[in-house]
Amino acid sequence: MSGPNIKRTSTVVPAGILEGVNWQDSFEIVPLHQKLSAEDAVEKMFGDAPPLWIRMLNGLRNALVRPFGIKPGQITTDDRQPGAFPTLQKTEDYVVLGYDDWHLNFRVVVQTHDRPAGQSVSLTTLVRRNNWFGYLYVFLITPFHDLIVSRLLRNLN
């Protein structure tokens, strides 16, 4: 993972976020220069219009998956749907985004953590691949996913 102070970390999220997870990753940025709630972190990560390259990747993704009946990702700055995902759960310490589709169900969990060196924020992706197409989809998008997660976390500094 590229970027200052961004590292791959173990996946630790509140119980019951998504049952049957068969793919996951988690990245964390430490320390932050300010203290944020999880909701503030989501707003900073997804709040501004994403860079052109992310919008273009999203458009390409939508065009490629349309014939397969996969839900399109609609990039927005709407508070109820940061980025391209609906908000499913919200507390002071974490926000859960995501949705279910025929090929996979996924959740993005943004959490704040108090650390000795200051606050950190983690972005964890949980996926339950429902069939072979879900496995193929995750395999194909993972390199782009890693780039986008790095960009989102860099928005916090």
Ordered by start, the domain boundaries in the chain are: 6-154
The structure tokens 């996946």 sit at 11
Q: Alpha carbon of 57 to those of 22, 70, 129: distances in Å?
A: 25, 16, 21
Architecture of domain 6-154 in this structure: 2-Layer Sandwich (3.30)
For the chain, the first-to-last Cα distance in angstroms comes to 16
CB contact at 8 A, 117 and 28 = no
Task: Check the CA dihedral 63-45-101-130 and report its sign.
Answer: positive
The residue-averaged pLDDT of 1-6 equals 66
pLDDT 10s digits, 79-99:
555 566 788 999 989 999 998
pLDDT 10s digits, 101-136:
999 999 999 999 988 878 899 999 999 999 999 999
- The whole-chain average pLDDT of the chain stands at 84
Higher pLDDT, 43 or 19: 19
User: In the predicted model, is pLDDT for residue 76 greater than 60?
Assistant: no
